[in-house]
Structure 1
Amino acid sequence: MLWLYNLGIQFYGIIVKIFSIFNPKAQFFIKGRLNIFEKIQNQLPSGRQRIWFHFASLGEFEQGRPLLEKVKSNYPLKEIIVTFFSPSGYEVQKNYALAAGVFYLPLDTRKNARAFIKAINPELAIFTKYEYWYHYFKTLHDLQIPLFIISGIFRPEQVFFKWYGSFNRKILKFVTYFFVQNEESIQLLKNIRIDQASLSGDTRFDRVAENASSPKENPLVKEFCGDAPVFIAGSTWPADERLLAKLAQDHPDWKFIIAPHEIDGAHIDQIRSSFLGAVTYTSNPSRHSDARVLIIDNIGLLSSLYQYGNIAYIGGGFGVGIHNTLEAAAFGIPIIFGPKYDKFQEAKDLIAIGAAISISSSAELKDAFSIFSKPALLSTSKTSAIPSATPIMGANNDAGAAAKKYVLSKTGSSAQIIHHIKRYLSDSHLR
Structure 2
Amino acid sequence: MSLARSPTGLFLYRAVVTIAFLAVSPVWLVGLLTRPELWKSRIGLVPRLAARTAGQPARVWIHASSVGEVRAATRLIEEMRQKRGVEIVLSTMTSAGHSVARASLREVGHFFFLPLDVPFVVARALRRIKAEVLLLVETELWPSLVFEAKKRDMKVAIVNGKVSPRGLKGYRRFRFLFEPVVRMLDAVLVQSRRHMVNYENLGVPSERIAITGSTKQDLQPRPDGELALRRKAGWSSSEIVLAAGSTRPGEERILCEGFVRAKASCDRLRLILAPRHLRRASHVARVAASFGLAIATLSGLRAGPSKPTKNSTGAETGGGIDVLILDTIGDLVTAYRESDIAFIGGTLSGHGGHNVLEPAAAGLPILAGPSTDNIEDDCNALCEVNALVTVRDSSDIERALKDLTESSEERGLRGGQAAAFFSSRPVASLLTLEYLERAGIL
Counting only pairs closer than 5 Å after superposition, residues 194-213 of structure 1 correspond to structure 2 as 194-207=206-219, 210=220, 212-213=221-222
Question: Is the 8 Å Cα contact of residues 314 and 322 (structure 1) preserved in structure 2?
Answer: yes
CA shift for structure 1 position 206: 1.2
Aligned to 1:375: 407
User: 1:189/1:5 Cα in 2 relative to 1: closer, same or farther (>3 Å)?
Assistant: same
Q: C-alpha separation between the residues in 2 aligned to 1:155 and 1:121?
A: 33
User: 1:271/1:155 Cα in 2 relative to 1: closer, same or farther (>3 Å)?
Assistant: closer
Question: Is the 8 Å Cα contact of residues 217 and 304 (structure 1) preserved in structure 2?
Answer: no
TM-score by structure 1 length?
A: 0.81
User: 1:340/1:253 Cα in 2 relative to 1: closer, same or farther (>3 Å)?
Assistant: same
Match for residue 171 of structure 1 among 181, 184, 199: 181
> CA-to-partner distance for each residue in 1:368-410, whole Å, 9 max, x for gaps?
2234334143xxxxxxxxxxxxxxxxx5222212211111122
Aligned to 2:332: 302
The answer to whether structure 1 residue 237 and structure 2 residue 253 are counterparts is: no
CA shift for structure 1 position 10: 5.8
Question: Is the 8 Å Cα contact of residues 46 and 129 (structure 2) preserved in structure 1?
Answer: no
Q: C-alpha separation between the residues in 1 aligned to 2:297 and 2:170?
A: 44
Q: C-alpha separation between the residues in 2 aligned to 1:290 and 1:11?
A: 57
CA shift for structure 1 position 83: 0.6
User: 1:4/1:215 Cα in 2 relative to 1: closer, same or farther (>3 Å)?
Assistant: farther
Question: Is the 8 Å Cα contact of residues 160 and 168 (structure 1) preserved in structure 2?
Answer: no
Question: What letter matches 2:330 in structure 1?
Answer: G
Question: Is the 8 Å Cα contact of residues 160 and 191 (structure 2) preserved in structure 1?
Answer: yes
Aligned to 2:311: none
Q: Percent identity?
A: 23
Aligned to 2:111: 102
CA shift for structure 1 position 70: 0.6
Structure 2: gaps spanning 5 or more residues? 1-8, 309-318
Q: C-alpha separation between the residues in 2 aligned to 1:369 and 1:220?
A: 21
Question: What letter matches 1:270 in structure 2?
Answer: R
Q: C-alpha separation between the residues in 1 aligned to 2:155 and 2:338?
A: 42
CA shift for structure 1 position 150: 1.2
Question: Is the 8 Å Cα contact of residues 253 and 288 (structure 2) preserved in structure 1?
Answer: no
Question: What letter matches 1:245 in structure 2?
Answer: C
> CA-to-partner distance for each residue in 1:194-228, whole Å, 9 max, x for gaps?
31121211111113xx2x34477452424633021
CA shift for structure 1 position 333: 0.8
Structure 1: gaps spanning 5 or more residues? 378-394, 427-431
- Which deviates more, 323-332 or 343-352? 343-352
- Pairwise CA RMSD: 3.3
Aligned to 2:87: 79
> CA-to-partner distance for each residue in 1:93-150, whole Å, 9 max, x for gaps?
2454221111111111221221111211112121111111112112222222111211
> CA-to-partner distance for each residue in 1:22-78, whole Å, 9 max, x for gaps?
xx9xx97x961236544513xx445575111111211011112111111111234x3
TM-score by structure 2 length?
A: 0.79
Match for residue 6 of structure 1 among 9, 14, 20: 14
Aligned to 1:90: 98
What secondary structure sits across from 2:250 in the alignment?
Answer: helix
Counting only pairs closer than 5 Å after superposition, residues 389-408 of structure 1 correspond to structure 2 as 396-408=411-423
Aligned to 1:257: 272
Q: C-alpha separation between the residues in 2 aligned to 1:16 and 1:311?
A: 47
Q: C-alpha separation between the residues in 2 aligned to 1:263 and 1:83?
A: 21
User: 1:189/1:338 Cα in 2 relative to 1: closer, same or farther (>3 Å)?
Assistant: closer
What secondary structure sits across from 1:103 in the alignment?
Answer: strand
Q: C-alpha separation between the residues in 2 aligned to 1:396 and 1:65?
A: 30
Q: C-alpha separation between the residues in 1 aligned to 2:195 and 2:350?
A: 24
Aligned to 1:115: 124
What secondary structure sits across from 2:336 in the alignment?
Answer: helix
Q: C-alpha separation between the residues in 2 aligned to 1:405 and 1:124?
A: 36
What secondary structure sits across from 1:347 in the alignment?
Answer: helix
Aligned to 2:395: 363
User: 1:407/1:7 Cα in 2 relative to 1: closer, same or farther (>3 Å)?
Assistant: farther
Q: C-alpha separation between the residues in 1 aligned to 2:90 and 2:426?
A: 23
Question: What letter matches 1:232 in structure 2?
Answer: A
User: 1:328/1:16 Cα in 2 relative to 1: closer, same or farther (>3 Å)?
Assistant: farther
Question: Is the 8 Å Cα contact of residues 311 and 334 (structure 1) preserved in structure 2?
Answer: yes
- Which deviates more, 331-340 or 215-224? 215-224
Question: Is the 8 Å Cα contact of residues 353 and 402 (structure 1) preserved in structure 2?
Answer: yes
What secondary structure sits across from 2:40 in the alignment?
Answer: coil
Aligned to 2:47: 40
Q: C-alpha separation between the residues in 2 aligned to 1:4 and 1:138?
A: 13
Q: C-alpha separation between the residues in 2 aligned to 1:293 and 1:161?
A: 40
Question: What letter matches 1:419 in structure 2?
Answer: E
Aligned residues: 397
Aligned to 1:323: 354
Match for residue 378 of structure 2 among 307, 321, 346: 346
Question: Is the 8 Å Cα contact of residues 65 and 97 (structure 2) preserved in structure 1?
Answer: yes
Aligned to 2:297: 280
Q: C-alpha separation between the residues in 1 aligned to 2:173 and 2:295?
A: 52
Q: C-alpha separation between the residues in 1 aligned to 2:187 and 2:87?
A: 22
